């Protein structure tokens, strides 16, 4: 009996220790909601996949800095500006991310952690400052699109608000713990990600841990086998009204816009030393000339066009009629993540300097030493690519690519 009693006590202690270990871990959760990005006087609604990835990379750095497990929110794959939340692991493998920090999917967190760690009566929304909405001095965390849709997806309502002003995602753990002690705030639920947009240069390295899941890989390889013939030039065209509106702000002498630093440097230290209109909205003539240049470099047999607006198919086919190109392809119903994966692995990608979607593709290609080009950069800035591709099979990207 004494032995059985000791076993019982040991079991209780073990269970309690496991409980303490499991629920003493502090978490960060956030809505992948970017709201309004202000440029000059006007504002632009942003929050597409490329933008979400930019801020996610910053959130990795933030979670590591303050030593909290990062809850991986679903991706908002918008369709006609309507929220469409897709589980994180439907796009990327979580296993690769676990090499650098602690992560848990939003679905797993809400099902297995939240009931005890984050009871419905103690859910505080965290924001920088009070947000406009029906409540005064409140985060109004569920006011607006896609804020309400996101939290409603997981049946989350908030009972209180706290503000993290004057802190930022770059402040040390000690400052965050002083304002939000983990024993009182085991979960920091941010209305929107506190990380920088666009991603800070030192956080781009985390992109190497974004690994497409097997389904995306199969879909991508199947598409290439069915519709394309190698070598392939991939083209990302951003010519929709929303992007034209964003680029119109260049008239106010902006030196940087969204991800344009990938073409002129983080400190405008590289030619042409600022973002230009050709980088943002290249003319059709420039688009055709750049594609022709890329085709000639790798003797491409296929050109794949990724765009949410005008693919310029007839113009491209006509312009390339006397070249090595046999196929010019655009599929309007493909998902943005599928196009991103495709452009990340083909022989040569021609990208948009300003687009965060292009920036994500560029980072993936950099990881795999694949060459890239950009619309709006001079041939002088891109001339080394031709030498590189023709002189060695081990291609790599340079700063201008």
On whether residue 142 sits in a domain, the answer given is yes
On whether both 26 and 160 belong to a single domain, the answer is yes
On whether both 348 and 229 belong to a single domain, the answer is yes
Q: How far is CA 399 from CA 130, 197, 224, 265, 266, in A?
A: 40, 20, 28, 8, 11
pLDDT attached to residue 387: 47
**Do the Cβ atoms of 30 and 147 come closer than 8 Å?**
no
Looking at 202, 232, 260, the residue that finishes a domain is: 202
On whether residue 11 sits in a domain, the answer given is no
- What is the residue range of 320's domain? 213-391
On whether both 184 and 232 belong to a single domain, the answer is no
On whether both 307 and 385 belong to a single domain, the answer is yes
On whether residue 188 sits in a domain, the answer given is yes
pLDDT attached to residue 179: 96
On whether residue 400 sits in a domain, the answer given is no
On whether both 167 and 249 belong to a single domain, the answer is no
Dig out the tokens for 284 from the structure: 């059709």
On whether both 63 and 197 belong to a single domain, the answer is yes
Supply the CATH number for residue 346's domain. Answer: 3.40.50.11350
Which string of DSSP letters, residue by residue, matches 356-397?
HHHHHHHHHHHHTT--EEETT--HHHHHHHHHHHHH-SS---
pLDDT attached to residue 25: 86
Looking at 151, 170, 202, the residue that finishes a domain is: 202
* Residue of 146, 121, 132, 181 lying closest to 30 (CA atoms): 146
On whether both 176 and 44 belong to a single domain, the answer is yes
With 0.75 as the threshold, say if the pTM is over it: yes
Looking at 142, 177, 202, the residue that finishes a domain is: 202
On whether both 252 and 284 belong to a single domain, the answer is yes
Residues in the chain: 401
Dig out the tokens for 278 from the structure: 């050709």
**Biggest CA-to-CA distance, the chain:** 91
What is the CB-side half-sphere exposure of residue 251 using CA atoms within 13 A? Answer: 7
What is the CB-side half-sphere exposure of residue 177 using CA atoms within 13 A? Answer: 11
Task: Please state the domain count of the chain.
Answer: 2
On whether both 365 and 304 belong to a single domain, the answer is yes
Q: List phi, psi (to 5°) of 26.
A: -95, 150
Residues of the chain with pLDDT under 70: 1-24, 35-47, 79-81, 381-401
pLDDT attached to residue 283: 95
């Amino acid at each position: 009996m004494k032995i059985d009693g000791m076993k019982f006590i040991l079991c209780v202690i073990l269970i309690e220790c496991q409980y303490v270990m499991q629920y003493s871990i502090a978490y960060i959760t956030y809505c992948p909601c970017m709201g309004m990005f202000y440029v000059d006087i006007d504002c632009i609604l942003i929050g597409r996949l490329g933008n979400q990835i930019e801020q996610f990379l910053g959130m990795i750095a933030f979670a590591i800095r303050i030593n909290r497990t990062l809850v991986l929110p679903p991706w908002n794959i918008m369709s006609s500006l309507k929220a469409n939340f897709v589980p994180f692991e439907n796009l990327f493998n979580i296993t690769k991310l676990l090499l650098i920090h602690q992560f848990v999917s939003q679905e797993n967190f809400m099902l297995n952690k939240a009931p005890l760690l984050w009871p419905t009566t103690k859910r505080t929304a965290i924001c920088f400052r009070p947000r406009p909405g029906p409540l005064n001095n409140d985060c109004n965390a569920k006011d607006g699109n896609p804020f309400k849709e996101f939290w409603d997806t997981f049946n989350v309502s908030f009972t209180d608000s706290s503000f993290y002003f004057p802190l930022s995602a770059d402040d040390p753990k000690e400052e965050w713990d002083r304002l939000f002690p983990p024993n009182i705030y085991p979960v920091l639920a941010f209305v929107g990600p506190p990380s920088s947009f666009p991603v800070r240069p030192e956080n781009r390295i985390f992109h190497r841990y974004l690994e497409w899941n097997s389904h995306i890989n199969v879909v991508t390889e199947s598409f290439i086998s069915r519709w394309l013939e190698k070598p392939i030039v991939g083209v990302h065209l951003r010519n929709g009204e929303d992007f034209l509106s964003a680029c119109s702000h260049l008239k106010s002498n902006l030196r940087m816009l969204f991800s344009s630093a990938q073409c002129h440097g983080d400190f405008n230290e590289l030619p042409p030393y600022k973002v230009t209109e050709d980088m943002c909205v290249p003319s059709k003539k420039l688009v055709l000339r750049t594609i022709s240049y890329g085709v000639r470099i790798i003797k491409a047999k296929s050109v794949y066009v990724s765009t949410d607006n005008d693919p310029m198919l007839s113009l491209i086919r006509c312009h390339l009629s006397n070249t090595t190109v046999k196929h010019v392809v655009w599929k309007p119903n493909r998902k943005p993540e599928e196009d991103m994966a495709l452009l990340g692995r083909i022989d040569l990608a021609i990208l948009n300097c300003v687009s965060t979607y292009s920036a994500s593709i560029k980072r993936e290609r950099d990881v795999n030493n694949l060459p890239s080009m950009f619309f709006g950069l001079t041939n002088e800035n891109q001339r080394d690519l031709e030498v590189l591709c023709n002189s060695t099979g081990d291609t790599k990207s340079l700063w201008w690519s």
